[in-house]
Amino acid sequence: MLKKIPADAVRLGMYLHALEGSWLSHPFWKSEFIVDDPEDLLRLRQSGLTAVWIDTRKGADVADQAVVLSAPASVSPPEAPIVPAVTRCSARDELQRAARLLSRSKKAITELFNEARLGNAINVEGCLPLVADISDSLARNSSVLIGLARLKHRDEYTYMHSVAVCALMISLSRQLGLDEATVREAGLAGLLHDVGKMLMPLDVLNKPGGLTDAEFTVMRSHPERGHALLIAAGTLPESALDVCLHHHEKFDGSGYPHRLQGEAISLFARMGAVCDVYDAITSNRPYKKAWSPAESLARMAQWTGHFDTRVFHAFVRSVGIYPLGSLVRLESGRLGVVIDQHPEKLTEPLVRVFFSAKAKAPIQQLDLDLSRRGANDRIVGREDPAQWGFSNLDDFWR
């Protein structure tokens, strides 16, 4: 038997048949499931939903018939154990989970984009589990998935770039203090922002050298073509359509396709512009070697008029002043690689020191948590790995 009850009246063991409202108004990518996890119960209570439908043939019934709607949604339920939705963990503990998630993500986004290339409609509902999983990984550790996504192979860039931008959009949204429904919306927008590239000629999309003027004109059409493709899907929030269309706009009005300027560019599109560029320049491309994360942030900071300054500063805080994999010089003269972030002390990450800049020689590796009292060292600047001949810095943390 189906019953409509207040969301606050849901208990462990109940079978949820339907959730009131759109998927953006609740934290679940599925609408029918048995509530057997206290974490899911907590998420439901924090979601803002007022009512749900339960199926008493498949799960527990309400103990008090008075709570079955039409009863007011403010009925106070008995106390339930409060557990954190996601528990933060170290980079080391999240590494394998994030790697498995990226492997699944690659398969899912490849299938999704191949359907787009064939002219089929985008399956929005199929994107939601992926966005939810990426969101949870970043809540456990905000650095690892973003760091791993940066290490994509050149031949998988087009697909994994979308996964990386999804993760960066989620991280940036949280840094900006947006609510979790909006965070998920931003993640979906990031995942789909480049779908128009699936409609580009493959010889242009994968060209190993610079594009001719004619080829560049073709590539510049991908936001509008992707926008049309997403409109055809029919179930996407306006923000996802807008990011797809306007993630190449620049704050000074010199971008494309509509040369929008300043606040005329939506917040989501301004966020998408930063996330899109950062992943592009930190990834190996067919025609360009990647820049290091710290170098990329430094260069982006110098591009006057490209980004919204407020959004860019929030982005730097979200990935860390010294992102995972950055080569840094310490006051002691040692060089080290950032292997984990401190969420509240951006200039004091966990660093694996391995080289003496003074002696120009390797030293015994040591993990140094600069945020701990008594660390007796600090970062004095970033270093260019190429100038030191280091080509395998990411092996230190992954």
**CA-CA distance, 308 to 262, in Å (whole number)?**
7
105 CB burial (10 A radius; 0-12, 13-18, 19+): buried
**CA-CA distance, 75 to 59, in Å (whole number)?**
21
Options 1.10.3330.10, 3.20.20.80, 1.10.3210.10, 3.40.50.360; which CATH number does 91-319 get? 1.10.3210.10
pLDDT in tens, the chain (398 residues): 677 888 888 989 998 877 765 545 555 655 578 888 887 788 787 777 778 888 888 888 887 555 555 433 333 333 333 333 578 899 999 999 999 999 999 988 998 888 888 878 777 777 888 999 999 999 999 999 999 999 887 778 888 999 999 999 999 999 999 988 899 999 999 999 999 999 999 888 888 888 899 999 999 999 999 999 999 887 788 999 999 999 999 999 999 999 999 999 999 999 999 999 999 999 988 778 889 898 999 999 999 999 999 999 999 999 988 999 999 999 999 999 999 988 888 889 999 999 999 999 999 999 999 999 888 899 999 998 989 999 888 888 88
Q: Across-strand partners of 3? A: 54
Instruction: Specify the DSSP element, H or E, that contains 280.
Output: helix 267-281
| Two tokens, residue 353 | 């020191």
| Two tokens, residue 14 | 């109940």
Q: Could you say which DSSP state residue 370 is in?
A: T
Phi, psi of 31 (to 5 degrees): -110, -15
Q: How far is CA 149 from the centre of its chain?
A: 10
What pLDDT is stored for residue 81 in this prediction? 32
pTM to 2 decimal places: 0.77
In which residue are the tokens 């080391």 written? 92
**CA-CA distance, 24 to 3, in Å (whole number)?**
23
Q: Is the Cβ–Cβ distance between 320 and 341 less than 8 Å?
A: yes
Who's near 246: CB < 8 A, 6+ residues apart? 223, 257, 258, 260, 265, 266, 269, 272
**CA-CA distance, 44 to 8, in Å (whole number)?**
8
Q: What is the CA radius of gyration of the chain?
A: 23
Extract the runs of DSSP E, i.e. beta strands, from 308-360.
327-330, 334-340, 350-356
Handedness of CA 111, 116, 117, 119 (dihedral sign): positive
What pLDDT is stored for residue 181 in this prediction? 86
How many residues are present in the chain? 398
Summarize pLDDT for 202-225 with one digit per residue, the tens. 888 888 888 899 999 999 999 999
Phi, psi of 369 (to 5 degrees): -90, 100
| Residue ranges of domains in the chain | 2-67, 91-319, 327-396
